[in-house]
Structure 1
């Protein structure tokens, strides 16, 4: 499928020049606003913007020579005129929405460009899934660029995915019109070890002249980090402290500081600019993962902007980190990211620069949102039936599938426990002493049971372990087919019977997230597309997600955005301890480890 009509600069240039010179008239003129210039880092009152062919033709103190009988005029009335916001790294699937519905949710917040990595669907549907996401992205009235996923599986040998991505897939995708580069290279041990497959994917991307995304989820800034940087990734969003950001920009990478629904990594790193005085041009703010509730109720990149400013960042610098810096990173500085001649006319009108109230959003010269309401259509693909039938359990699960037998003769055991860390993606590797009752290890106190249910090949296999940090009380279970990155099914619970109910329920509805308490369903978010997304309206999905959050809280969970923490418990490329279909994974060593550490007599 092809992108809705937008002329290239070369096609539009004759008219842009003519409009700027006054020989032709503009399609749209925005009159007398404050030009927020991210090129020079200035606020310039009393300026006009003339737009033709969806691009900016003129920016100056008086565009009256560009106005004709058919020119639409918007009176800015002293409001700020900002470039549309860019999200430099994010996963549409994390919003529980298709690209069309994600766009519809974020456009009123001023986001006009997104650089998306659909590696979630790649793990479920392979290259076909990436192509479906890419094609729907190209239909939207804003700019959605796709990064070809690099790692499915993310850690070969430590997880089993529905499909695998190959260097040949990467080379093929680099020819697609909307592909901007390679998605985050999560297999950082592979890059450090010069794995031929990983280096072949990076080479295919660089040979195509496109950008390689990074993912270095390790605190080690020694030779391993330097080897990763030498392997070609051009950015990284896994930093959690100031030293991480500094190390990345010193090595020629862009430090991407993320504020997602549950990842709060801006405040701890932006001090590299605000206190250490590093050049902000190599810093980018992104979201990585935002669920629908955040998008509907709090915002998107405008939320991240306000947070960065609250952390002490100069508003103009913060804006650069989500406009011109992002565009330049992907080689699109002449296309977007600033209000300047030739660029796509992606513009926000706001009466409050500090709080960034988004009043009017213009994309490609068209008004797409007014006062929080979208004014254009976001077209959907016709998703094939097999993309809506991806949860294959192989059998009806029972409570016995979630039993954890103890070593023979044990009265108690010391076990390894996944420790959830609020507002961060990493987990902790903990230990707990648990009782053995009738030969089975029983969770107690703050420790819950966690299971990973295989759902791609109908094997009926269940991997069981323990997790701490959710704070659940009473009899409950929560299951999700969003389980980064292999996207099997994660079930967390205090009741094996409820865990079976939750898992079977998701098998019935074709995927999503469900919460049971005392044997009764409390909340359900259906995600029928690949078990990851809904093509329902963002507001509807957000309302269901809010009910899910309320059910979690009623069961004792007080974590911020605990659903996001739940969904990452199988992410075997971020330390320290995770679960996969292969067992319990020690991500500090990239190897499986035993659940039982010690038998207690």
Structure 2
């Protein structure tokens, strides 16, 4: 180490030629928010100087712009639907050099085994992957996941080098009411001087004060600038989210200005493979922000230095002596097209593709635990299992809200039509929905009705069902629903679309029922094929047929959800009857 430091000092002072010099660059200086012209001298993987330098190897940039490597401050890697190595191939060419992941999706399936699996699969990657420990497994007491992680289960994981703290504290209701189980987790993190991330949409006033007083230091759920500014005023960092499921960038554009941008960073939260391959990652957020009028240098700082500062990553996030040579060369700050990516002073990606020698060096085998690779404990589904006994003349329908994750309630008459399951009314856009427990073969199943989905015939099945990831079915008849569910079961997880007794398409996701080992482009291609089939069956362009279902069972977003326990009234956290005896007040198309 002493010899390496000596070499860096000598190269910085000009006493020796630096190993690598990027000549005639325009450097984004994140400390002064300006463009600085000069050479970038690199020695032993570190930046040693900005100015006039000679190198053993020199690369002429001709005035191209160089930015620090980008850092995503909050993402669930599982949402990419591909294994970590494939995720790396998708994001590194876009300039992302580090991510902070919350593995709560795989933890809900396989507990600490799932978390450790993700830790193993992310070792040795070019992409730096840090972890926040899942705080809500399961999300609430009215959910049924594959594992329950209390404070005692999480405690040993804090010893892992890449663990930075406690992930999004989704149960803000319990936190501000000093729930003992939550506070046990919070206290463990605080004792170890670890970060605590937040998840508290719509929290204001005294409840926000209580949430911050508990030690919660950030939030990624702000949907408007007013909410975000209040959280900044109370000392929180705000993560501006622009992902696949939730897109808050445009509403939060005022945060790119003084003084607010200094307490903000860019995150994606959930990002599907199609968005990664076609649009990009954090580079896409920067491009879009600039197109909406944001200061481009502010956007770069929010995508690099600020995440490094918040998470205590002292050697990354800037281009200055003593920082790691994690750099990206871009065309200009407006279009932000990433031309080259350097990691520790080595060129790892160019023109949108990772270097072959980098990929070859990182091939490694990690044993997959049974709870991860064979996570389906569910017997074969028969159409008779899905039958519903009539217990009232009126059904309570979980209705989707266009463009939102929230739902409403519709009361509709029980109907029986030829060719559909009893209760289904495709003219009123009401289909049947089922959620089957798949982790422990308990046989638990919730049956109900879904409105506003658009399906006119056939069935859709998915094992991506936030956050407990049980098996969700939606369809017009029991036979197609059973076939779709059994297709996913056979594949050890994934997606399927069925119509008229025939499987139209399927996407196996055998890693915990959430991810594939295939490349991102292949998964995206299969996903797009499935979406095309969904359109043919009546689901409109404005609805993502799988993401919509993925959130339909999550009992922390109002108003109604359906999970393995049945129909859930989220606001009152209780199970409701699906069928009742009353005169429907609103029987029209919602």
| Normalised TM-score (structure 1) | 0.91
Contact 1:480–1:512 at 8 Å: present in 2 too? yes
Displacement of 1:12 in angstroms is 5.0
Distance (whole Å) between structure 2 residues aligned to residue 364 and residue 166 of structure 1? 38
Distance (whole Å) between structure 1 residues aligned to residue 254 and residue 312 of structure 2? 27
Deviations 1:519-567 (A, max 9, x none): 2222211111111111122221121112122222222221254432221
Distance (whole Å) between structure 2 residues aligned to residue 283 and residue 11 of structure 1? 38
Contact 1:401–1:462 at 8 Å: present in 2 too? no
Displacement of 1:499 in angstroms is 0.9
Deviations 1:30-59 (A, max 9, x none): 1111101122110123x1111122221112
SS of equivalent to 2:185: helix
Distance (whole Å) between structure 2 residues aligned to residue 596 and residue 93 of structure 1? 36
Distance (whole Å) between structure 2 residues aligned to residue 441 and residue 12 of structure 1? 73
Residue 304, structure 1, aligned to residue 294, structure 2: no
Residue 113, structure 1, aligned to residue 94, structure 2: no
Equivalent in the alignment of 1:577: 560
Q: Any stretches of 5+ residues in structure 1 without a counterpart? A: 1-6
Displacement of 1:429 in angstroms is 2.0
Query: Which of 329, 332, 347 does residue 367 from structure 1 map onto?
Result: 347
- In the TM superposition, 1:501-516 aligns within 5 A as 501-516=483-498
Q: Cα RMSD (Å) of the superposition? A: 2.1
Displacement of 1:19 in angstroms is 1.6
Greater shift in the superposed pair: 195-204 or 294-303: 195-204
Displacement of 1:11 in angstroms is 8.5
Query: Which of 490, 496, 505 does residue 523 from structure 1 map onto?
Result: 505
Structure 1 residues 53 and 434: CA distance shift in structure 2, 3 A = farther
| Normalised TM-score (structure 2) | 0.93
Contact 1:148–1:183 at 8 Å: present in 2 too? yes
Displacement of 1:343 in angstroms is 1.5
SS of equivalent to 2:338: coil
Distance (whole Å) between structure 1 residues aligned to residue 533 and residue 84 of structure 2? 28
Residue 343, structure 1, aligned to residue 323, structure 2: yes
SS of equivalent to 2:251: coil
Displacement of 1:254 in angstroms is 1.1
Greater shift in the superposed pair: 51-60 or 585-594: 585-594
Equivalent in the alignment of 2:34: 42
Structure 1 residues 365 and 598: CA distance shift in structure 2, 3 A = farther
Moved over 6 A (4+): none
Displacement of 1:596 in angstroms is 3.6
Displacement of 1:243 in angstroms is 2.1
Query: Which of 42, 45, 65 does residue 51 from structure 1 map onto?
Result: 42
Displacement of 1:578 in angstroms is 1.9
The size of the alignment, in residue pairs, is 574
Query: Which of 147, 152, 164 does residue 168 from structure 1 map onto?
Result: 152
Equivalent in the alignment of 1:92: 77
Structure 1 residues 12 and 552: CA distance shift in structure 2, 3 A = farther
Contact 2:132–2:167 at 8 Å: present in 1 too? yes
Distance (whole Å) between structure 2 residues aligned to residue 367 and residue 520 of structure 1? 48
Equivalent in the alignment of 1:205: 189
Displacement of 1:285 in angstroms is 1.4
Query: Which of 48, 53, 56 does residue 63 from structure 1 map onto?
Result: 53
Distance (whole Å) between structure 1 residues aligned to residue 3 and residue 213 of structure 2? 39
Contact 1:420–1:470 at 8 Å: present in 2 too? no
Deviations 1:97-127 (A, max 9, x none): 1111111111111111101111111111111
Query: Which of 124, 129, 143 does residue 109 from structure 2 map onto?
Result: 124
Equivalent in the alignment of 1:239: 222
Query: Which of 242, 264, 268 does residue 259 from structure 1 map onto?
Result: 242
Structure 1 residues 575 and 284: CA distance shift in structure 2, 3 A = farther
Equivalent in the alignment of 2:161: 177
Query: Which of 414, 421, 429 does residue 408 from structure 2 map onto?
Result: 429
Structure 1 residues 437 and 108: CA distance shift in structure 2, 3 A = same
SS of equivalent to 2:221: coil
SS of equivalent to 1:599: coil
Structure 1 residues 335 and 499: CA distance shift in structure 2, 3 A = same
Deviations 1:467-491 (A, max 9, x none): 2333222x12111111111111111
Displacement of 1:440 in angstroms is 4.1
Contact 1:405–1:440 at 8 Å: present in 2 too? no
Distance (whole Å) between structure 2 residues aligned to residue 462 and residue 81 of structure 1? 54
Equivalent in the alignment of 2:587: none
